Amino acid sequence: MENFTRRQALRAGALGLMPAGFLSWASEANAASTIETMYQAAGPWPVATGVSGGHRLHYPQTLGAGGVTHPIVTWGNGSWATPDHYPGLLGHLASWGFAVVASTDTTTGTGAEILAAAQHLIGLNTDPASVFHGKLNTAQVAAVGHSQGAGGSINAANDSAGLIKTVVPIAVPAQWMASPGDEFSVADLTCPVLFLSGANDWLISSAATVQGYYDQAAAGAGKALLKGAGHNDVQNTGGGFLGYVTAWLRYRLMADTQARGAFAGSAPELPANTAWQNQALKNLT
């Protein structure tokens, strides 16, 4: 019998090929707190989609309305996955004012594709023929990814020379699963990071795995496991991950004071939210 290799584990997890109940035995808990509930709902911006340079785009339809410039979120797919597996999350972020660019590559672990996507969108900001011309806040860029792409988001940040200002690795895999060339170093991050995973994701991104990465993060960090969620619950609608991913990005890239309340201040919401477990926050202002 062929061994279940690290690459096979990541690919099977990312595409939902695990047997029913293998990574998730219960439905996700409902959002239980005010800030999460606010950002779990769709935002005020109508969403448009498109393609450019081999990248998938989700962005506010009325770009620049009211003089707003939009921060950039660059996305990394899990193994064998494409942006079509994540329409809920990518569109949701666009509804909250972010310009989202997603590589269509099915292997994003090196981070090169994720960083290239961000640079492509930044280039469109200077193109007079583009709908993005002058509409983007190119000083505020985040990298977000799932599974293999979660490790890739860390690599993209480390290789970005400070371009990427924050990272959200979702269901980041244990290091033994990273294929040659996909290895990543949380200890080298110079920007804040939010680690999210499913409480039932015991094979690929377990509580111990997430804790180990959180302990290495020196530039500000948060972590939490969504109760009842498995490895792939961020796919399709985005499930219970929508609220805090959105709130974190608005806190870090838009200086949204309400969103900040989930992660910083005298009584941040995340640690008290009973829909999550293993929560922790450090060095966040």
Let me know if domain 6-282 sits in CATH 3.90.740.10.
Answer: no
Indicate the pTM of the whole model. 0.89
Give the pLDDT confidence score for residue 175 in this predicted structure.
85
CB atoms within 10 A of CB 264: 17
Q: What is the pLDDT of residues 125-162, one digit of tens each?
A: 999 999 999 999 999 999 999 999 999 999 999 999 99
The residue whose two tokens read 């709130």 is 247
- Reduced to 3 states, what is the DSSP secondary structure of residue 157? helix
As a whole number, mean pLDDT of residues 63-76 equals 97
pLDDT at 28 over 90: no
The pLDDT value given to residue 179:
82
DSSP strand pairing (136-146 vs 70-76):
parallel
23-32, 84-93, 109-118: range with lowest mean pLDDT: 23-32
Q: What is the reported pLDDT for 128?
A: 97
Supply the mean pLDDT for the chain. Answer: 89
What pLDDT sits at residue 17? 32
Amino acid at 199: A
What are the Cα distances from residue 255, in Å, to 91, 258, 261, 279? 21, 9, 11, 22
Q: Which tens digits make up the pLDDT trace of 214-252?
A: 999 999 999 999 999 999 999 999 999 999 999 999 999
* 3-class DSSP assignment, residue 105: coil
Give the tens place of pLDDT for each residue, 182-193. 899 999 999 999
**pLDDT at position 21 over 90:** no
Residues 254-273 have a mean pLDDT of 97
Q: What is the DSSP letter of 173?
A: P
